[in-house]
Structure 1
Amino acid sequence: MGLMTFLRQVPTETAAAPHPAVRFAPLAGLTLLLAAPGLAIQFGLLPFEYRMGALIVVSALCIGLCLWAGFSFTELGFGRPHQWRHWLGAVAVTSLISAVMLLQTRLFSFDAQPPAWLSFAPFYVLVSSPCQEVVCRSIPKLITDRMEHGGWAYVLYSAALFSLIHLCYGDPALLLNTFLLGVVWGFVYWRTLNIWPLIASHAAVGTLAFALGLA
């Protein structure tokens, strides 16, 4: 039985409890998948410039496995995008995060160089941000719900994954910032189950971070 097939199954009262190793396999598998590109780059096994391609491959694999297991796009968070309360909440969260980032630039110095925006911005907004939100927010929610460890356990797991996919940069401050961002966005997704506003928030915050030299 495949891991995603196991994840899709609904437990019944008469079904035997799965072995703990099988129960935690989807969680461990997703963690390893998302950490692998960053670790490979840090150990010199993968060139740094391949990081975006690796993100696309890993994201496509994760999403493909979920769809193959029978999950729908709605279950992955792609439900009704026009729930205005969710969008208003995302605007408030994005504004708060932006204010904190601006404060950081006043208190600390950062030397990251902004990317070439004409080529990078479309990819970041249309590809990178959606991929990161699905693999770090939607899919972890499916896994932790299946394991009956949702709520704050999901939020912290989601935040840890979001930090892990930034291992390739080798920047402890960035890892901390992305973990904290992951807590905020994970909490929002836990409450809304709507990935669209988070994709927009992620794109806006990321764009500002690059512009300020924070990433």
Structure 2
Amino acid sequence: MQTVGGFEDVPGVVPWRAGEVAVGIFVILAYSSLVGGIWHLTENWVRRYPDAIATWGFSHLVGLAILVVVWRLGLHPRRLSLSSLGFVRPITTRLTTGGLAVLVLAASLLFAGLYSLLMRHLGWSALMPPVYPPEIVFPGLGALATIEALVVWTPIMEEIFFRRFVFAGLTPRLGIPRAIVVSALVFSAFHIVPGVLVPTFVTGMLLAWLYHRTGSLWPGIVAHAGQNALAVSALILGG
């Protein structure tokens, strides 16, 4: 594959722009709504593990759609290689990269905890982060399928879309600070549930900053996967 204007050699720089980002956001949002609607109409047909199947299936279907959208709107028209997705070596040292990933993970968890305490103190139950049922995890060894979906697949796909495609695509038009905020708003909006909108927004800003700081998706994927791993582990151990 050829490069276009050397984009593949410059960490964090992409050739697609805000218009293509807007189309991509709309397509993924519409597709996610369609998948959710179809499941709502057919979930009664599933006799065993409906919540776990829904979680696993939705994660993979939306992830595949993300790959198609990013390829069709970003990579294919410019004949870019997969390295344009941001899977490159960080521009920071290993020690700095690891430290930043841990810092982002810790800051995200700390904010989520403080936010929950504040909402509980204020009595705003509608804005409390939900307690997810353990039924979203397959029982026994089947839990490995849930771990694959939520701890591996989802972080990779979401970092490709929200950080590489959306954030990096908006940066030339908005500048880095505003692109961080807008991409985090989009990331938050896709999570729908009122109780996670604010924590997810903060996490989105942290992950976008981490991507900008390191020039690679890998640190954000690790931090994102770490947070999801803690949540899934709590469900498995608590269930």
Number of the residue aligned with 2:109: 98
Shift of residue 204, structure 1, vs aligned partner:
0.9
3-state SS in 2 of match to 1:148:
helix
TM-score by length of 2: 0.67
Matched, 1:52 2:59: yes
The alignment partner of 1:194 has SS state of coil
User: In 1, Cα distance between the equivalents of 2:114 and 2:233?
Assistant: 14
Shift of 1:198: 0.6
Instruction: Provide structure 1 residue ranges, at least 5 long, that are not aligned to the other structure.
Output: 1-7, 11-22
Match of 1:122 in 2: 148
Task: Indicate how the Cα distance of structure 1 residues 111 and 124 shifts in structure 2: closer, same or farther if over 3 A, else same.
Answer: closer
TM-score by length of 1: 0.73
**The 10-residue stretch of structure 1 (111-120 or 198-207) with the greater mean CA deviation from structure 2:** 111-120
In structure 1, how many angstroms separate the alpha carbons of the residues matched to 2:58 and 2:233?
A: 20
Other-structure match for 2:133? 113
Could you tell me which residue of structure 2 aligns to residue 34 of structure 1? 28
| 111-120 vs 95-104, greater mean Cα deviation | 95-104
Which residue of the other structure, out of 185, 210, 228, is the alignment partner of 1:206?
228
Distance 1:164 1:72 in 2: 30
Number of residue pairs matched by the alignment: 189
For residues 12-71 of structure 1, what are the alpha-carbon distances to aligned partners after superposition, in whole Å with 9 as ceiling and x for unaligned? xxxxxxxxxxx75313202202322443356x3454824223312221213322331233
Verify the 8 A CA contact 2:59 2:150 in the aligned structure 1: no
Give the number of the structure whose residues are more often helix, by fraction.
Answer: 2
Aligned CA-pair RMSD = 2.8
Q: Is the 8 A contact 1:94 1:204 kept in 2?
A: yes
User: Any gaps of 5 or more consecutive residues in structure 2?
Assistant: 7-16, 44-53, 121-127, 138-142
The question of whether the paired residues in 2 share the 8 Å contact of 1:38 and 1:164 is answered with no
Q: CA separation in 1, counterparts of 2:211 and 2:148?
A: 24
Measured at CA, do residues 187 and 57 of structure 1 come closer, stay the same or move farther in structure 2, by a change above 3 Å? same
User: Following the alignment from structure 1 to structure 2, what is the Cα–Cα distance between the partners of residues 71 and 163?
Assistant: 29
